[in-house]
Structure formats: C-alpha cells, structure tokens
Amino acid sequence: MIRLAAFDLDGTLFNSSSRISDVNLAALDEARKRGIRIVIASGRPYTVVRHVLEQLRLDLTDSYCITLNGAQIIRCRDDKELSGSFISGRDVRDIAGFVLPRGAFMHTYSVRRGLLLSRMNPYSEIELFGGLVKHAEDNFLKLDDNEKFYKALVAAQRELVDQIAAAVPDELRSRFKVIRSLGTLLEFLEPGTGKGPALARLAEELGISAGEIIAFGDEQNDLDMIEYAGTGVAMANGGEEIKRNADFVTLSNDEDGVAYALRRFCF
C-alpha cells in the first residue's frame, strides 16, 4: 500500500509552462483523500515549494518538503529546517574559479542571504520563479571562507554545460556531489546530499518504509529518489538514465503523466 508520494517539480509535476494541470491537481487531491502523504522534492528553494503546496491546497500543519535537491528538509507547520547540508564560501570560490572562465554563469543559495547570482543572465528566471525568490549579485571569487551555502549551480546553454560537466576535475568531484538538474543546469552539493537520502530520512521520521513510497522524477537529480522508493516512476520526457532505472515510465509532463501513474498504482 502506498502511504507517501514524492514529486519533483520541473519536468514532472510542472508542465512545460511551469504549471500544474487541473488533471494532476485532481489526482493529487484524490491521493490525499485516500490518506497518501504528498511530499514535494525539488531542487528549488522553500519559497517556491511552499507556494506550490499552497496551490495544492494542502493542510500545511501536516506537510513536509525536500528542497534544494535534498540540502533541506522543511516542516511546513512552523517552517522549521529539520535537516540541512552545506558547502562553504571557499567551496563556492573554488567551483567559480573552474566555471566562470569557461563562460558560464553561476547561482548559489546562501543560508544567510538567499539566492546570489554571479550576474543576471538568461537563465536567472528559472531560479527567480516569477519574482518569488529574492536575489542579489555578488563576486563569487571573493566570498568569505566561512559563509554557508546549500548548493552552487552552473547555468549555460546545454552544449556548454555538457562541456563543463565532462571537464570537472577529479579534485572537485571528490569534494562535491555533481548532478544535472536541467539540461542548462549543473549543481554542486555536499557529497552526502540528495533527494534520495533526504526522502529516506523523512520516511524514517514518519515511520514509512521505502516499499510504501512512490516517487516521480525526470532528471539525474531525481535518480537516487527513484531508486530508493519502492515504486520509482520516470516521466516519458525524462533522461534515459532515469528511465532505465525506474520501475515504470509514465506519460510526459505535458500529458498528465503524474495522474496517469497515480491512477495505475494508487487508486
């Protein structure tokens, strides 16, 4: 029996217009009525995820979410961070020293200051989500050693991100978890961070086993969550790696693939 359903946002619960369709909303509402706990597991910050939870009309007194690709677990009742993982200002400087000379842009999420941009760029709107996320520009090569960050992101055209991903030196790969979250985004996180580990911690907190979980995703950053869940569902628009490792491939995010799989496995 499924007791918890975890959903990525971009490319999964969101369609290509970054909206949740009425069909998917109705399916999520039916899941809640059947006692299935809904958890959003996203690379986005809590500001965006909470907005989505409110759109889903969830009772936030009993909701949790996984944000920033597992760097945070938040209890929505009081906005309390139950779990956090961090990289340092020195870490972000070292990543920037490798990335910025190659012509890419960078974003990072500071614990204290929120979203920082190396400079405003064509990919910034992905992170700003229509103005929901406050931001500032900063010099990533001059960040303080001891400032704490949740993650650092590389943003560029897909071809350049491909090149940068292939060229990440072993020294950086040994220090960080390096994952693709979109074709135009590459992320650097603390090595033990991920949606899968965060989902496992949350499930333990709630007394739910992996076999009672269904998880949905489309990109590399969803892979450990798909593998952890008893039922891992990949979107048809997802990458080949995640589709190979999923238990089921559903319809695309523009074809209400979430609703299709919920009806198949939960209703």
- Residues annotated catalytic, as ranges: 8
Longest distance between any two alpha carbons in the chain, whole Å:
53
Cite the DSSP H helix spans in the chain.
22-33, 46-55, 89-99, 124-128, 158-167, 170-173, 195-206, 223-228, 240-245, 257-265
Listed in sequence order, the residues at least 6 apart from 194 whose beta carbon sits closer than 8 Å to its beta carbon are 69, 70, 177, 179, 221, 224, 225
CB-CB contact of 135 with 128 (8 Å): yes
**Helix 22-33 crosses helix 257-265 at what angle (to 10 degrees)?**
30
